[in-house]
Structure 1
Amino acid sequence: MSNADQEEFWTSDAGPNWVAQQENMDALLAPVLDLLLDRTPLKSGDTVLDIGCGTGVSVAAAARIVGTKGHVTGLDISQTMLDLAAQRTTATNASFLKADAQNHSFHTSFDAIISRFGVMFFNDTVAALANLDTALAPGGTMTFAAWGPAPQNPYFMVPAKAAIGVLGEMPKVDRTLPGPFAFEDSNRVLGMMTRAGLGDPGVETVHLDLTPPGDATETAALLLKIGPAQRAIAHHEADAAATARVQEAVANAISQFDTDLGLRIPACIHIYSARKPA
């Protein structure tokens, strides 16, 4: 079973938006990348596979840690995002691979597999994790960052509620299906990791603040391009006037997170980990 729908979505739909907003998204999610790398036991000389590497910020960060004696391979299903990743990554110890991690035949073993929000979109998560395990060297580690429970992530829920307040209700979605919250239930995910045969599966739940680079108005404009507000606008086929009202409502809603340091949006992040027996 392939992830063709996800490939189309991240190449032709979401991918161009992420490319256009790459700097803003990197700044917003920087605390999550820092957390992921802090929890990943990388060392100089390691070989790393980055799943769902997107536009490459995590590849570049991991490449700095493993040094010139190591290597990082960034894998993504979206050519749109990989094109920018290759363009902006200057590290000589990094490369990129367009592939579906669920069924790609890996001929290289890696010391570590990492992912920042890149593992929640598999059609068959158990099959995907089992396949990734074949790419892990004995004693190697997997470390994945995924969104925790939706109600604890106002980055999604606050703009969604604001958009619904302006445009009306959206169809209910099954959050266990491929999407940002497919890994929110840690017990369910740990069960899938066990069924996939991963060694020593575990999870740590961390609360942190996301750090959007702009003020409430600028961040609202970003959230109208990526996330639930954008989907609400598309679903309701909102015109320019309605879209402007949504942006104003989102800006007003997220202004509650304004601090002396700028916007700080609370987030709940699951860090999943596994280690292959040596």
Structure 2
Amino acid sequence: MTETNHDQAEYWGKSASGMKWLTFEEQIAASFAPVVDLLLERAALKPGQRVLDIGCGLGDVTLAAAQAVGPGGHVLGVDISAPFLERAGLRASGMGNVGFALADAQSEPFAPAERDAVLSRFGMMFFSDTVAAFANIARALKPGGRMTFAAWGPLAGNPWFYLPHRAATDRLGQMPKVDRNAPGPLAFHDIDRVTGLMAEAGLADIEAQAVDLNLTPPGGLEGAAALCTRLGPAARVLAHFNGSEADEAAIRDAVSAALEPYVEGGEVLMPATINLFQARRAGTA
């Protein structure tokens, strides 16, 4: 693997925090299923197309895209985490139109002009050089091929982030400030900044839209609160301050209380703002 994002490889492939995504695989897939639906709807894949899924993780988008393109198409899922790819491969067992590759998409020499479409759910925000990554990924597209990717919108529109963060910092204190545009989950919150980077990378027909939807964490209020405490901002605050089991329980209870307004029929429907980006590789097919 040609690697230019070593810190990301270490985090997602080896750290305890990254490995939690394996532990909570089913809960995460259920929570983010509406984002997969949005991505596939906007990508409008066709039977027989060849697709590249960037930051495929455990394969949620890869498998959904494989169904869309059918046996005559193909989907290659790319990720920087070997454990994630191992799990994704098990999920895709028996599917002849799916493959996976351990690769850093910013620098990997993909086969040029070989894919009809690029997809990504929350996989584009972590590159050390976003312009270089966009340009490299675009080279894998056929001329006129389309890139469609979803990223988190502004913090204020995403209680998935701000409610657990508030509960954790109220309990343990504030963490050091970070640049919100630095590589990380919220790095693409500013649509204008990201579309500018896409243009700088040479992409054409750039479109972007903030889409409001509901995340669907399973397990009712208790399950949603537990998931939000064990992943994301609350987990990072707990790790930073070496929080105790009592701290985790208190934070989970605070998150549960904060999520109560989003309970409908016993299930949590958590509002989210997703930035949806699309562009084409310059040229015509």
Sort the TM-score into its range (normalised by shorter chain): over 0.9
Q: Does 1:178 align with 2:178?
A: no
Give the stretch that moved more between structures: 253-262 or 150-159: 253-262
In 1, are the aligned partners of 2:152 and 2:188 still within 8 Å (CA)?
yes
In 1, are the aligned partners of 2:217 and 2:223 still within 8 Å (CA)?
no
Instruction: Name the residue aligned to 1:28.
Output: 31
Question: Which whole-Å CA distance do the structure 1 matches of 2:168 and 2:199 have between them?
Answer: 39
In 1, are the aligned partners of 2:221 and 2:266 still within 8 Å (CA)?
no
Q: Does 1:106 align with 2:110?
A: yes
Question: Which whole-Å CA distance do the structure 1 matches of 2:23 and 2:243 have between them?
Answer: 21
Instruction: Name the residue aligned to 2:78.
Output: 75
For the residue of structure 1 that corresponds to 2:56, the secondary structure is coil
In 2, are the aligned partners of 1:15 and 1:80 still within 8 Å (CA)?
no
What amino acid is aligned across from residue 32 of structure 2 in structure 1? L
What do residues 211-237 of structure 1 show as CA deviations (whole Å, max 9, x unaligned)? 011122221211222100000110111
Return the offset for 1:260. 1.9
Instruction: Name the residue aligned to 1:243.
Output: 248
Correspondent of 1:84 among 87, 107, 122: 87
Question: Which whole-Å CA distance do the structure 1 matches of 2:13 and 2:181 have between them?
Answer: 22
Instruction: Name the residue aligned to 2:131.
Output: 126
Give the stretch that moved more between structures: 250-259 or 177-186: 250-259
Seq. identity, %: 48
Question: Which whole-Å CA distance do the structure 2 matches of 1:43 and 1:23 have between them?
Answer: 27
Query: 1:103-252 counterparts in 2 under 5 A?
Result: 103-108=107-112, 109-252=114-257
For the residue of structure 2 that corresponds to 1:200, the secondary structure is strand
Return the offset for 1:83. 0.8
Give the stretch that moved more between structures: 19-28 or 259-268: 259-268
Return the offset for 1:261. 5.7
For the residue of structure 2 that corresponds to 1:208, the secondary structure is strand
Q: Does 1:6 align with 2:8?
A: yes
Question: Which whole-Å CA distance do the structure 1 matches of 2:50 and 2:98 have between them?
Answer: 10
Q: CA RMSD in A?
A: 1.1
Q: Does 1:64 align with 2:53?
A: no
In 2, are the aligned partners of 1:15 and 1:78 still within 8 Å (CA)?
no
Change (3 A) 1:229 1:93: same
What amino acid is aligned across from residue 156 of structure 1 in structure 2? F
For the residue of structure 1 that corresponds to 2:274, the secondary structure is strand
In 2, are the aligned partners of 1:102 and 1:129 still within 8 Å (CA)?
yes
What do residues 144-193 of structure 1 show as CA deviations (whole Å, max 9, x unaligned)? 00011111101100111011111122221211000011111000000000
TM-score (norm 2): 0.95
Return the offset for 1:205. 1.3
Instruction: Name the residue aligned to 2:97.
Output: 93
Extract structure 1 runs of 4+ deviating beyond 3 A.
none
Give the stretch that moved more between structures: 257-266 or 155-164: 257-266
In 2, are the aligned partners of 1:42 and 1:66 still within 8 Å (CA)?
yes
What amino acid is aligned across from residue 263 of structure 1 in structure 2? V
Question: Which whole-Å CA distance do the structure 2 matches of 1:190 and 1:63 have between them?
Answer: 28
What amino acid is aligned across from residue 210 of structure 1 in structure 2? L
Equivalent residue pairs, number: 278
Q: Does 1:39 align with 2:42?
A: yes
